[in-house]
Amino acid sequence: MSNNKVTVATVWLDGCSGCHMSLIDMDERLIALASQIDVVYSPLVDNKTYPEMVDVALVEGAISSDEDLHKIKMIREHTKILVALGDCAVAGNVPSMRNPFSVKDIMDRAYIENVNVQPQWPDQIVPKLLPVVRPIHEVVKVDVFVQGCPPSADTIYYVLSELLAGRQPVLNTMTRPGA
Ligand code: SF4
């Protein structure tokens, strides 16, 4: 914790950002939360360096690239409570629809077949794809699983409120895949 506030990170791996949109949909409840939490790392804030230790990380998206893999391992090492936020993080969901195809076929389709000008595979900036997309729990330990595509703002608020109260959120009847 810093300044007696719970430190929170939000992370965007291979997802569509819809889970982050749902997070923002908490609207005025974000103001209430602001008195209890410090957002120390997120696509939504300026700080792009992950702190030495974070209390809670909400992670959107699946593990699709070598960059995602490196990032989730780093985050696990520097996070007390890791939350898999949304179906992509929990189960692979949309990004894993590429799993029946080879990386070569996918890259050819994206960068050769559908391109009119200078068709070629990128050799820099774009992270290298892993052979298959994996949900987070197949790579590192996950402490809280939040289903939904995206999880509702109410669900995310409940999860954060329970964690702030020092309780494990009970989500069995609150969430289901795709809803
Ligand atoms: Fe987007 Fe749904 Fe994946 Fe969230 S779970 S990142 S809303 S596709």
Using most ligand atoms within 8 A of CB, pick from 19, 59, 85 the residue to mutate for ligand 1: 19
Using most ligand atoms within 8 A of CB, pick from 10, 25, 149 the residue to mutate for ligand 1: 149
* Side chain identity at residue 155, one-letter code: T
The pLDDT assigned to 46 comes to: 87
Q: What is the mean pLDDT of residues 94-103?
A: 98
Give the H or E element holding residue 157.
Answer: helix 153-164
Q: What is the CATH number of domain 6-96+131-164?
A: 3.40.50.700
With vertex at residue 61, the alpha carbon angle to CA 146 and CA 53, rounded to the nearest 5 degrees, is 80
111-165 per-position pLDDT tens digit = 999 999 999 999 888 999 999 999 999 999 999 999 999 999 999 999 999 999 9
Q: Is 173's pLDDT higher than 80?
A: no
Q: What's the gap in Å between 117 CA and the centre of ligand 1?
A: 31
The pLDDT assigned to 175 comes to: 78
Q: What is the mean pLDDT of residues 20-25?
A: 96
Residue count of the chain:
179
The pLDDT assigned to 145 comes to: 97
Facing residues of 63 across strands? 134
Choice among 42-51, 84-93, 94-103 with the minimum mean pLDDT: 42-51
Ligand 1 proximity of 19 Cβ (cutoff 6 Å):
yes
The pLDDT assigned to 42 comes to: 96
Ligand 1: atom nearest CA of 93 is 3
Using most ligand atoms within 8 A of CB, pick from 60, 145, 176 the residue to mutate for ligand 1: 60
Ligand 1 proximity of 64 Cβ (cutoff 6 Å):
no
Strand boundaries in the chain, DSSP class E: 6-12, 37-41, 54-60, 63-65, 79-85, 129-134, 144-146
All structural domains of the chain with their residue ranges: 6-96+131-164
Which band of pLDDT confidence, cut at 50, 70 and 90, is reported for residue 76?
A: very high
- Is the pTM higher than 0.75? The answer reads yes
Between 172 and 109, the more confident residue is 109
26-64 per-position pLDDT tens digit = 999 999 898 999 999 999 898 889 999 999 999 999 999
Ligand 1: atom nearest CA of 148 is 5
Q: What's the gap in Å between 101 CA and the centre of ligand 1?
A: 21
Which band of pLDDT confidence, cut at 50, 70 and 90, is reported for residue 94?
A: very high
Backbone angles phi, psi at 130, to 5 degrees: -80, 160
- Specify whether the CB–CB gap between 136 and 72 falls below 8 A: yes
The pLDDT assigned to 179 comes to: 67
Q: What's the gap in Å between 86 CA and the centre of ligand 1?
A: 6
